[in-house]
Amino acid sequence: MQKTSELKLPTPADIEDAALRLHGVAVRTPLLRCDALDEVTGGKVFLKPEMLQRTGSFKFRGAYNRISRLTAEERPGGVVAFSSGNHAQGVALAAKLAGVRAVIVMPADAPKLKQERTKGHGAEVVLYDRATEDRDAIARRIAAERGAVIVPPFDDLHVIAGQGTIGFEITEDLEALSLAPDLVTMPASGGGLAAGISLAVKALYPQARIVIAEPELFDDHARSFRSGMREKNERVTGSICDALLSADPGLLTFEITKRLSGEGVAASDAEVLAAMAFAFRELKLVVEPGGAVGLAAILAGKIDVKGKVAVAVLSGGNTDPETFARAITGY
């Protein structure tokens, strides 16, 4: 196993480079403010709606930043990735734009919408049982057979840097309003989004708090921060937040977040559904469960933003119709 001292971690300069590569390709999503949210929380709370990103989630940023850097020798073999859906779609579209083949290893219980859209971008989908099979092993086998490059969902320098462009956009848009962030919260599975945003925000505002939000019973980051080592979740299924069920924090990502964040909170399924309903009712936004965890934690009072300038990243909107109907109807 590689020693943490040997890891090559991304820097703010890598994020700046990623921003140049993504310019004109990725959507620069806005910061939204909602009177109703400020009234409920007592703070100035902004939302970063990454469901407006290409493929409906932030994952396109990291995928494109990585795949666009394939060498001439790597391109013929294409890429292989493993994902419950959002990274899958990001990789599929990025590969299509780059003109290379993509194979995506997806859990069989991933929402059908995500499976269909991944195929729609031209990728080959290989399904597996997340309770009994090892997606990493499947991806490594396919990569060896086809000479493909594995594009990890979070533990990759260029993937993390791509996600970090969200952090720079947040700080730039707040500066345009003569504001500075007191707190930024985002969902975490393996932690690529959290690591990238932490690097970007802390580089400019070292006093800002970075709070990672996770589903209840899948709070591996929060437990890892408390113990100082990467803790595993006991379960692999059992939350409506299908995009946030990674077994444990990434090796690279945890090296960054334990230093720059160190704070984690968890939201229940009921709180997540309530946040989805709030976003739809007050902002007309469709947020998937995993994308709503940070907002859920704020609305439930688990993150105190009273008197603070806070930003919650809504990481995606690829929810299935049944779950979304359950959220907005309360059933």
CA separation for the pair 224, 162 (Å, rounded): 24
Helical H segments across the chain, by residue range: 12-22, 35-41, 59-67, 86-98, 112-120, 135-146, 157-176, 192-204, 220-227, 251-260, 269-283, 293-299, 321-329
Strand bridging mode 79-82 / 149-150:
parallel
pLDDT, tens digit, 9 for 90 and up, residues 185-197: 999 999 999 999 9
Q: Is 11 exposed, middle or buried (0-12, 13-18, 19+ CB in 10 A)?
A: middle
What one-character DSSP code corresponds to residue 107?
E
Contact (Cβ atoms closer than 8 angstroms) between residue 273 and residue 326: yes
Amino acid symbol at 313: V
Q: What is the mean pLDDT of residues 106-131?
A: 88
Confidence at residue 172, expressed as pLDDT on a 0 to 100 scale: 98
Residue in 327, 322, 290 with CA at minimum distance from that of residue 86: 290
For residue 264, the surrounding DSSP H or E stretch is strand 263-267
HSE at residue 229, side-chain half, CA atoms within 13 A, is: 1
Q: Which residues pair with 125 in a beta bridge?
A: 104
pTM for this predicted structure: 0.94
Strand bridging mode 183-187 / 102-107:
unpaired
Residue in 282, 242, 266, 269 with CA at minimum distance from that of residue 327: 269
pLDDT range class, residue 1, cuts 50, 70, 90: very low
pLDDT, tens digit, 9 for 90 and up, residues 27-68: 999 999 999 999 999 999 999 999 999 999 999 999 999 999
Which own/partner pairs from 32-37 qualify as long-range (CB within 8 Å, at least 24 positions apart)? Answer: 32/283, 32/285, 34/282, 34/283, 36/278, 36/282, 37/278, 37/282, 37/298
CA separation for the pair 67, 144 (Å, rounded): 18
pLDDT range class, residue 2, cuts 50, 70, 90: very low
Cβ neighbors of 270 (< 8 A, separation 6 or more) are none
pLDDT range class, residue 305, cuts 50, 70, 90: very high
Burial 184-204 (b: 16+ CB within 10 A, else e): bbbbbbbbbbbbbbbbbbbbb
Domains of the chain plus CATH, in order, are 4-58+156-329 (3.40.50.1100), 60-150 (3.40.50.1100)
Query: How many residues are listed for the chain in this entry?
Result: 331
CA separation for the pair 290, 188 (Å, rounded): 8
Contact (Cβ atoms closer than 8 angstroms) between residue 171 and residue 229: no
Ramachandran sector of residue 66 (left: φ over 0; alpha: ψ -120 to 50; beta: rest): alpha
